[in-house]
A and B are shown apart, each in its own frame.
Chain A
Amino acid sequence: MAATLLLGVAAVNTGNNLLFLVVSAMLGFMAVSGLLGWLNIRGLTVSVRLPDEVYAGLSTQLTVRVENRKKRLPSFLITATLLGHPASFLLLDPRKPQTGSLFIAFPARGRFELPVALISSSFPVNFFVRYIRVPVAGSVLVFPAPRSFALPAGLGKPESGTAQSQAAPGHEGELAKISDYQGGEPLKLIHWRLSAKHEDYKVKHLTSTATDPVLIEVDSLPGRDLEERLGYGTFLVNRLVRGGRAVGLKLSQRVIAPDSSRSHRLKLLGELALYGQS
């Protein structure tokens, strides 16, 4: 540009038409390169594929898919930036989508509309970088950042569980021991086949780990504020459901019945993500 200005001054000063020709050529080239740069970042669509579980503050891999919707013109040297994280594409042929990966950490829990993607490119001439904002369809539900803490006795995974947890009595866990009927035990715990061979009724003692459904009451969780309590809640939900326990949730006015399926776990995490938000 400086060269063009210099030549422009020279052209006016000398009145030399060939210099005017050079200046016109340079200005023409600048105009066309500007137009080409503008076209280069136009007609691009960006979509994002997210994993099922996204936790606040934890780096998550996103798959960015960029498609050049122009009919003929390829797009060159495209960078798609989402939340400050770039993914680069050297050449995007028309109608041939390409994918790239990004690692993004969302700052807080809750439902996030996906931010606009910033498409940038220095093509065709590396003097300027041109930007355009492209909407990214969809939203993401960000779960609270899990906060780990030492589980009280009787909680935790059976395989890694402690002696206390195995000894703790329950109704649905594994068989811990068999003893004589003391009276008061539920009928379903009586070991009928063994009882037939003995004089006394024999009663199954099951561990409580897998047997007792857990109802997590968010407001009763430890933590200085709601966010900390939700973090502990998230950790608990994950740990217990993965350990095979049925987990339910007691929110301020609502109770969600315990279950141990994955979809249930995601539902609970979703509830925790939106808890306290309008």
Chain B
Amino acid sequence: MVRVKSVLSTLTLCVALIGYLPLAPYLDPLATWCFPAGLVAAWYQQRSGRTLSGRILTPASILLFLYYASGMNRDNLLSVTANLLVMFLSVRLVGEKSGRNYLQIFALALFCLAASSLYNLSALFLVYLLALLLLLAVSLVVLTFHAHDADLALEHPQLKKVLGVAGLMPVAALPILLVLFVILPRTQFPLWDFLNRGGGNRAGFSDKVKPGAAASVTEVKAVVLRASSPKVPENRLYWRGIVLNALEGNAWVRVPGPQERSMVPGSAEQVRQEIYPEPSNSPYLVALNIPRQISGLRSVNEADVVFKARAPLDKRVKYEAVSTLSDLVRVNGGIDRDFYLGVPAQVSPRMREAARQLSQSGRSDADKLRLLERFVRSQRISYATSGLPVGNDALDDFLFGKKRGSCEFFASSSAILLRLAGVPARLVGGYRGGNYNQMGGYYQVTEDMAHVWVEAYLDGRGWVTVDPTAWSIGFGRQAALGDTLRMYADALGFYWNKAVISYDLDKQISLVRKAGGAVRQLHLPAFSLKGTLVGLSWLLPLGAAVLWYLGRSVSREERLLRRFLRAVARRYPTLTVERSGLFDLAQRTGDPQVREFAIIYGSALYGDRRLQPVELENLKRLVRGINQHHP
């Protein structure tokens, strides 16, 4: 025999753990450690049969709430909520457990998992969700048995059957989950977006690049723009948005630069695009690198090939762009070299040394650029979006210490090294890549594709596009056998993002359109008189047979009786009409019409004869009467 209570306690611990795990990396130390302690204490309590009284736990919960609520502001709302959820979960685990308390634990675990989705959008979420769904289903069923009898004990075969049926529920719920996920109504924009600000900064392109400000960047898959264009080679998919030309402390910013007469060569391949940006606060118009011309919107072409809209892009707009797939911006009349050689006040000695070697060994700017590439590659730095170096010496740590970083680190350090070595350099912010929609013939660019690269000025040529991120380990390398697994994981992530994370109103609408189109394309086979006659010759006798059977099986007396019973059931809803005798009904209702019906119908029934037409009419009148007088 197995006690239902112990099964329920064990399941509850598992549910709480599944709720906590996805949220754990984003919690304060207090919450991070309180939960494991609570879990161990709950496990001990389960074995010893003791619990902590509510008189201790309720004030503790209030104090915890006050502690976290006191530090709450608009920016850390999510963090405070997540910590509080885990703390409440821990407290609930060690408290007394009634049916209501178990439900509270289940709800808190579910909220914890939901909160984790605001931090991390990885496919691992699906694993946690399915595990929680299974555990919750089984736990709720076991809780129902517990509510029936708290001391209930089940035999092993019985328990097996209960768990088996309970485990079937999430399996059966999966297809419904998929359908609902597709059809649940989406909105064009999040109505209430501040909760979406997770623990890290967004990776989207901004007008300020400051590597070392956060240890991680959150990769948001929200769509930034759609660009209708022919397909271009993958290595040319750089979407230019902004140029950051100056340093402010450790941050790259855009300041009004010197007047230059930039010229985009028209000799290379030209690509025309129609661009539909998602509404945003940024005024910069994005187009394939390097845009020659933007039309359809009032905009200013600034000196460094940056197009800026005159009005904010907070509504849905469209503009056309013509770009040259080139990596060169010529400048007639040269540039203000001094402006582009400014470096931060504090640069680490190791970086200065690296820059000195560049300038000593390289005779020309092009040589220095080649040497920079060799230097960065030799440092064997990995591309990463988490575990990034932080602090004022983040770039030094990136190049010589942790040797990992995002595109901001690669671009920022390379530009500074170039400037230190006497090569004018600036950062270009925009996006790299794009999902090409073959059917629609457009690129979809999402926020996580935000990218920063470098333009170095080479004398005699102009601003040359350089992407130092491409020098990171493994970038562009042919996949080795050992990489197969990673490739699969990447593909899984890609499809996860494609199918789930980026599913939005547009996709919903296009799905509906496709379905509508498919329905419209349905057509009946060509009309054939012979076929129709054959079909009718089958259908007509079949229909006649069905009608005859129905007519035979239910006599008109029986039909009338059913109508009568339905009418009585409607008029006297508290009575159980089925299987009651007619006279019994008449007596219980005290209704003269029911009584009259019973007498007329009964006389025919007990006389074993069919109803006379007059009687039939009378009975119908009575049924109408009963129907008309609803209480």
Give A residues with C-beta under 8 Å from B: 3, 7-8, 10-29, 31-33, 35-36, 73-74, 76-77, 90-91, 93, 113-116, 122-126, 133, 135, 278
Whether B140 lies near A21 (C-beta < 8 A) is: no
Residue B114 interfacial (CB < 8 Å): yes
Whether B148 lies near A77 (C-beta < 8 A) is: yes
Contacts A113-B584, A122-B144, A124-B141 given; does A22 touch B117 at CB 8 Å? yes
Residue B544 interfacial (CB < 8 Å): no
Nearest CB of chain A from residue B124's CB, rounded to whole Å: 11
Kindly state the separation between the CA atoms of A114 and B579 in the bound complex, as whole angstroms.
Answer: 8
Kindly state the separation between the CA atoms of A28 and B504 in the bound complex, as whole angstroms.
Answer: 20
Selecting from B168-176, B387-395, B430-438, the interface stretch reads: B168-176
Residue B129 interfacial (CB < 8 Å): yes
Whether B189 lies near A23 (C-beta < 8 A) is: no
Which residue on A lies nearest to B171, using beta carbons? A32
Determine the chain B residues whose CB is within 8 A of the CB of A93 once the complex forms.
Answer: 161
Kindly state the separation between the CA atoms of A22 and B131 in the bound complex, as whole angstroms.
Answer: 12
Whether B110 lies near A74 (C-beta < 8 A) is: no
Whether A29 lies near B137 (C-beta < 8 A) is: yes
Given contacts A29-B137, A122-B147, A123-B141, 15 further A-B contacts (CB under 8 A): A10-B195, A12-B185, A13-B191, A13-B192, A15-B196, A16-B117, A17-B503, A18-B501, A21-B181, A24-B184, A25-B173, A115-B576, A116-B576, A116-B579, A126-B140
Determine the chain A residues whose CB is within 8 A of the CB of B185 once the complex forms.
Answer: 12
Whether A91 lies near B110 (C-beta < 8 A) is: no
Whether A16 lies near B579 (C-beta < 8 A) is: no
Nearest CB of chain B from residue A124's CB, rounded to whole Å: 5
Determine the chain B residues whose CB is within 8 A of the CB of A135 once the complex forms.
Answer: 578-579
Contacts A22-B113, A116-B578 given; does A29 touch B162 at CB 8 Å? no
Which residue on A lies nearest to B580, using beta carbons? A113
Whether A10 lies near B180 (C-beta < 8 A) is: no
Kindly state the separation between the CA atoms of A123 and B501 in the bound complex, as whole angstroms.
Answer: 35
A126 interface neighbour in B110, B147, B181, Cβ under 8 Å = B147
Kindly state the separation between the CA atoms of A35 and B579 in the bound complex, as whole angstroms.
Answer: 27
Kindly state the separation between the CA atoms of A185 and B136 in the bound complex, as whole angstroms.
Answer: 92
Determine the chain B residues whose CB is within 8 A of the CB of A22 once the complex forms.
Answer: 110, 113-114, 117, 129
14 contacts between A and B (CB under 8 A): A15-B504, A16-B117, A17-B502, A19-B114, A20-B186, A24-B181, A29-B173, A33-B140, A90-B148, A91-B161, A116-B579, A122-B148, A124-B140, A125-B143
Determine the chain A residues whose CB is within 8 A of the CB of B502 once the complex forms.
Answer: 17
Determine the chain A residues whose CB is within 8 A of the CB of B319 once the complex forms.
Answer: none
Determine the chain A residues whose CB is within 8 A of the CB of B162 once the complex forms.
Answer: 76, 91
Determine the chain A residues whose CB is within 8 A of the CB of B117 once the complex forms.
Answer: 16, 18-19, 21-22
Q: Within B571-592, which residues are at the interface with A (CB < 8 Å)?
A: 576, 578-581, 583-584
Kindly state the separation between the CA atoms of A114 and B177 in the bound complex, as whole angstroms.
Answer: 44
Determine the chain A residues whose CB is within 8 A of the CB of B186 once the complex forms.
Answer: 12, 15, 20
Nearest CB of chain A from residue B523's CB, rounded to whole Å: 34
Residue among B147, B173, B580, B583 facing the most chain A CB atoms (10 A cut-off)? B173
Determine the chain B residues whose CB is within 8 A of the CB of A113 once the complex forms.
Answer: 579-581, 584
Nearest CB of chain A from residue B585's CB, rounded to whole Å: 11
Whether A18 lies near B500 (C-beta < 8 A) is: yes
Determine the chain B residues whose CB is within 8 A of the CB of A14 once the complex forms.
Answer: 118, 190, 192-193, 195-196
Determine the chain A residues whose CB is within 8 A of the CB of B237 once the complex forms.
Answer: none
Residue B568 interfacial (CB < 8 Å): no
Residue B551 interfacial (CB < 8 Å): no
Nearest CB of chain A from residue B157's CB, rounded to whole Å: 9
Nearest CB of chain B from residue A37's CB, rounded to whole Å: 10
Which residue on A lies nearest to B178, using beta carbons? A24
Whether B165 lies near A28 (C-beta < 8 A) is: no
Whether B143 lies near A28 (C-beta < 8 A) is: no
Nearest CB of chain B from residue A72's CB, rounded to whole Å: 10
Nearest CB of chain A from residue B631's CB, rounded to whole Å: 21
Residue B65 interfacial (CB < 8 Å): no
Which residue on B lies nearest to A3, using beta carbons? B107
Whether A29 lies near B170 (C-beta < 8 A) is: yes
Determine the chain B residues whose CB is within 8 A of the CB of A90 once the complex forms.
Answer: 148, 152, 154, 158
Which residue on A lies nearest to B169, using beta carbons? A32
Contacts A24-B181, A25-B129, A33-B169 given; does A126 touch B118 at CB 8 Å? no
Kindly state the separation between the CA atoms of A32 and B171 in the bound complex, as whole angstroms.
Answer: 9
Kindly state the separation between the CA atoms of A92 and B143 in the bound complex, as whole angstroms.
Answer: 19
Kindly state the separation between the CA atoms of A206 and B140 in the bound complex, as whole angstroms.
Answer: 77
Whether A21 lies near B177 (C-beta < 8 A) is: yes
Whether B172 lies near A124 (C-beta < 8 A) is: no
Determine the chain A residues whose CB is within 8 A of the CB of B173 once the complex forms.
Answer: 25, 28-29, 31-32
Nearest CB of chain A from residue B120's CB, rounded to whole Å: 9
A23 interface neighbour in B107, B184, B187, B583, Cβ under 8 Å = B184
Which residue on A lies nearest to B170, using beta carbons? A29
Whether B579 lies near A29 (C-beta < 8 A) is: no
Residue B43 interfacial (CB < 8 Å): no
Nearest CB of chain A from residue B576's CB, rounded to whole Å: 6
Determine the chain B residues whose CB is within 8 A of the CB of A12 once the complex forms.
Answer: 185-187, 191
Nearest CB of chain B from residue A103's CB, rounded to whole Å: 21
Residue B276 interfacial (CB < 8 Å): no
Which residue on A lies nearest to B191, using beta carbons? A13
Which residue on B lies nearest to A137, using beta carbons? B579
Nearest CB of chain B from residue A170's CB, rounded to whole Å: 44
Nearest CB of chain B from residue A188's CB, rounded to whole Å: 48
Residue B279 interfacial (CB < 8 Å): no
Q: Within B116-151, which residues are at the interface with A (CB < 8 Å)?
A: 117-118, 121, 125-126, 129, 133, 136-137, 140-141, 143-145, 147-148
Determine the chain A residues whose CB is within 8 A of the CB of B158 once the complex forms.
Answer: 90-91
Determine the chain A residues whose CB is within 8 A of the CB of B180 once the complex forms.
Answer: 23-24, 27-28
A16 interface neighbour in B154, B196, B578, B583, Cβ under 8 Å = B196
Residue B111 interfacial (CB < 8 Å): yes
Residue B99 interfacial (CB < 8 Å): yes
Which residue on B lies nearest to A4, using beta carbons? B110
Which residue on B lies nearest to A277, using beta carbons? B583
Determine the chain B residues whose CB is within 8 A of the CB of A21 once the complex forms.
Answer: 117, 125-126, 129, 177, 181, 500
Nearest CB of chain A from residue B16's CB, rounded to whole Å: 15
Residue B288 interfacial (CB < 8 Å): no
Which residue on A lies nearest to B158, using beta carbons? A91
Determine the chain B residues whose CB is within 8 A of the CB of A122 once the complex forms.
Answer: 144, 147-148
Whether B169 lies near A123 (C-beta < 8 A) is: no
Determine the chain A residues whose CB is within 8 A of the CB of B91 once the complex forms.
Answer: none
Residue B166 interfacial (CB < 8 Å): yes
